[in-house]
Structure 1
Amino acid sequence: MTTTRQITISGVSHTVVLSDDSTALQAASAAGRAVVGLWDKNHPDKSLFPAFYVIENIEQADRDFLTKVVLRHLGLPWEICCTKRLTIREFTLNDAENIPGGEYSGPGDFVFLSQETLSAYIKHQYTFFEYGIWAVIEKAKGQLIGKAGLSDLPQEVLAQFPALQTFDSVLELSYHIFSPYRNKGYALEACTAILDYGETYGLPIAARVSSLNKPSMRLLKHLGFTEMGTCSPCPGENILLYIRKNSLFPV
């Protein structure tokens, strides 16, 4: 079976080819079209190369799914969620130029400071996991004001908390609003939307915070997190692990 769908992005119509035939998928891909494989459970070993996205039922190919397929095909960022004042979307290469100097929130920050490292992050994190740290954009001016998102809680941290080890994976909420934009409620607004989005993954959500960072501790409690204990203590401070209370983890 081979069929097509049309998806419009920024006023331009794009054809998506959906097929259970590798030859048809290869031809469509060679012609520059986005492709989706149709998987047949009765023939699980059948090749669907070069489709990166595979679905079992054609009904799964709704407009939202196909829009994301086309955006990924075009190398354009996914919009994760919106609030009254903010858009949270995947980072783009140009964002590296718009991060204020001196803004440092942790060892992983180097990823976002050059187009080379950001390109690798976009390719490997977003493409394979479909979550990660995202750009927080102020709608009014289209300004990058921070970053926030979800990533996998490191296994070495997970190993310190037996109550979490019944889960294969735990997501970690991270956020950093750049200093010129703080004290305006942006962190609460962004994190609330991200947590709502994160519920779709069906995994517990944790967060780490320094015991010296009282504002972030208050924010996490406001977001429904509760303290689990200390992890990876550092000289002069403790790093605390918080877990969000929900149906998966009713602390």
Structure 2
Amino acid sequence: MLKGIIFDMDGVLINSEPFHFQVWRETLKARGIHIDYEVYKPCIGSTIDFLMKLLHEHYGVDLQDIALIAEMKSVKARLMEENGYPPLIPWVKELLDRLQQAGYAMAVASSSPLSYIEKVTEHWNIDRYFQKLVSGEQVQNPKPAPDVFLKAAESLGLSAEECLVIEDSENGCRAAKAAGMVCMAYFNPDSGKQDLSTAFTVVEGFEEVDAAFVEKTYCHYHHLPAVVCETRRLLIREMEKEDIPRLMEICAQETSADACEGVAKPLKEELEDFKMYRRYMYELCDMGYWCILKKDSGEIIGRAGVEPKLWNEKNTVVELGYVIDEKFRRRGFAYEACKAIIEEAEKRGAVYLYCRIKSANTPSLKLAEKLGFQKMDYHLNGDSEDMEVWRCTCHGNH
């Protein structure tokens, strides 16, 4: 279960990497050293000690050159006095607010000195979001070693498995992976061309990242069923392997025969194929068929969802399907579930949704009309003559 979010600071909370490079460039220029960005880049996300090793290797700087570090701090203070603190990353305060309201414990785990972390978070009034501030200087090994993240988790009273890390650098992503934590990378163009391939997912902005997105990222990393959406009476979540026998029972009901979504493979095949289905549909496509549960009892009463399909070998569409246990029909559950799923599909970028309904399936035809679907003059190769095609436009994409 996800309980804690650990943030890197430089490049994630504040857009500071260009500033840090400027500080070191001016400091070294006074020594007659013109630092190349490609030499500097590997230290992004790591500590001063790591940078000193790079400067030693490339420019012969003494590893124990305390005066150089003092000069750097002086330049840094002057530039901050002239230009102020590096700015917050857009939408980061809103993200912190959303995550705090969702009840997550939060910490900063940065390679910067603790005093600087404290000053930055206080200056931008974001210190109130974090229970703990941890510096790479407080641990033995800098990023890409996992030490700072493990210490942050420990300080929150959490295990590594209960945490998610938000990073912007190659070193940070590698450190999160080494710590056994799911990593969500923020692509910051000002952090240089970072290799973020060790992160589980990459986002390009925080404006649409919320608790549900973070929770889904965590669940997919750990192969857990994520919640898709909720209604007044229903919880709709991704399937897990243990759900399949119950769903097969529903699909096998005689009254489910007219439901296109109700067509199923033998149980053995369904179980064998589920791992691949979960990986492809849920984790890569962000779609799939999901379980419908009654909130008051937790009972699975059906499944519904959207899947990408190739129609007539040339048209890629997103198709909506559903099937409800016959004991729970005529209570409005199908409408409630499908309406919520359409709204969720809109949020995930769907423009049109399609469904296929047999002309004799009056309840589904009425439901499609109620949901805003319209019948199309289109026939899918391989379908029987009595199969109709319906389409709705997702209102969020007009």
TM-score by length of structure 2 reads 0.53
- Given the superposition, is the C-alpha separation of residues 189 and 58 from structure 1 closer, same or farther in structure 2, using an over 3 Å criterion? closer
Gaps of 5+ in 2: 1-6, 13-95, 106-156
**Is 2:272 the partner of 1:124?**
no
Decide which structure has greater strand share: 1
**Is 2:264 the partner of 1:109?**
yes
The CA deviation string for residues 64-99 of structure 1, in whole angstroms up to 9 with x for no partner, is: 332222222232211111112211110011101322
Instruction: Note the C-alpha offset of 1:42.
Output: 5.6
Give SS of 1:199's match. Answer: helix
Higher relative contact order (CA 8 A, sep 6+): 2
CA contact (8 A) 1:211 1:237 kept: no
Instruction: Note the C-alpha offset of 1:53.
Output: 1.1
CA contact (8 A) 2:163 2:182 kept: yes
Give SS of 1:183's match. Answer: coil
How many angstroms apart in 1 are the aligned matches of 2:265 and 2:182?
Answer: 32
The CA deviation string for residues 19-77 of structure 1, in whole angstroms up to 9 with x for no partner, is: 22223212211221110112133678531021121122356554333222222223221
State the match for 1:205 in structure 2. Answer: 353
Residue in structure 2 matching 1:180, options 313, 327, 346:
327
How many angstroms apart in 2 are the aligned matches of 1:221 and 1:112?
Answer: 33
- Given the superposition, is the C-alpha separation of residues 140 and 157 from structure 1 closer, same or farther in structure 2, using an over 3 Å criterion? farther
Q: Which residue identity is paired with 1:220?
A: A
The CA deviation string for residues 162-196 of structure 1, in whole angstroms up to 9 with x for no partner, is: xxxxxxx5321111112232222211111111111
**Is 2:231 the partner of 1:231?**
no
CA contact (8 A) 1:230 1:239 kept: no
- Given the superposition, is the C-alpha separation of residues 59 and 224 from structure 1 closer, same or farther in structure 2, using an over 3 Å criterion? closer
The CA deviation string for residues 115-169 of structure 1, in whole angstroms up to 9 with x for no partner, is: 322222112210001111111111222111111011124242764xxxxxxxxx5
Q: How do residues 39-54 of structure 1 correspond to structure 2 at under 5 angstroms?
A: 39-41=187-189, 46-54=194-202
CA contact (8 A) 2:220 2:282 kept: no
State the match for 2:230 in structure 1. Answer: 82
State the match for 1:138 in structure 2. Answer: 294
- Given the superposition, is the C-alpha separation of residues 240 and 45 from structure 1 closer, same or farther in structure 2, using an over 3 Å criterion? farther
Residue in structure 1 matching 2:303, options 147, 153, 157:
147
- Given the superposition, is the C-alpha separation of residues 72 and 157 from structure 1 closer, same or farther in structure 2, using an over 3 Å criterion? same
Q: Which residue identity is paired with 2:367?
A: L
Q: Report the more deviating stretch, 23-32 or 142-151.
A: 23-32
State the match for 1:196 in structure 2. Answer: 343
Q: How many corresponding residue pairs?
A: 239
Residue in structure 1 matching 2:318, options 171, 177, 198:
171
CA contact (8 A) 1:111 1:117 kept: no
How many angstroms apart in 2 are the aligned matches of 1:16 and 1:79?
Answer: 17
The CA deviation string for residues 185-243 of structure 1, in whole angstroms up to 9 with x for no partner, is: 21111111111112221411111111221221111011111101241366864221111
Instruction: Note the C-alpha offset of 1:108.
Output: 5.6
CA contact (8 A) 1:171 1:203 kept: no
Give SS of 1:50's match. Answer: coil
How many angstroms apart in 1 are the aligned matches of 2:237 and 2:392?
Answer: 23
State the match for 2:8 in structure 1. Answer: 2
Q: Which has the larger radius of gyration?
A: 2
State the match for 1:163 in structure 2. Answer: none
How many angstroms apart in 1 are the aligned matches of 2:386 and 2:192?
Answer: 49
CA contact (8 A) 1:157 1:231 kept: no
Q: Which residue identity is paired with 1:186?
A: F
State the match for 2:126 in structure 1. Answer: none
Q: Report the more deviating stretch, 123-132 or 43-52.
A: 43-52
Residue in structure 2 matching 1:215, options 363, 375, 390:
363
Decide which structure has greater helix share: 2
TM-score by length of structure 1 reads 0.81
